[in-house]
Amino acid sequence: MTVASTRMTFGTILGAIQTSAKTITSTLDAANAGVGMINKFVSDAAENQQVRSKIDNQIFKSTLLKTKAMELAEASLQADAYSLISDQHKLRYEESLRELNEALGNTKSS
């Protein structure tokens, strides 16, 4: 093997190593970019879920308060109507309400 042929072979080997190194670097860069994209996607999804959860909780609280207020108002109207049937209805209702409140440890009637 001549010196020129050895240099050419050695140059070819170095070229192949350089090409392989560039390929590996490009592959790692692409993988890193992919991981970055996945990380951004997951981060954005977590933030969106947090915002959605806060809004859902606010809507739930508002709806619950309104619904329960209507139920309480309806119960009060029914109790008032029941008490207007007769003095006996009113007296028995008030006695029953007082008895139930005492059983629950409440000192005032609702």
The pLDDT tens digits of the residues spanning 74-95 come to 999 999 999 999 999 999 999 9
* Dist CA 101 CA 94 (whole Å): 10
pLDDT at 11: 75
Least confident segment among 20-29, 55-64, 70-79, 87-96 = 20-29
Report residue 5's pLDDT band, with 50, 70 and 90 as the boundaries: confident
Q: Domain residues of the chain, as ranges?
A: 3-104
Do the Cβ atoms of 101 and 107 come closer than 8 Å?
A: yes
Least confident segment among 37-46, 58-67, 80-89 = 37-46
Do the Cβ atoms of 94 and 80 come closer than 8 Å?
A: no
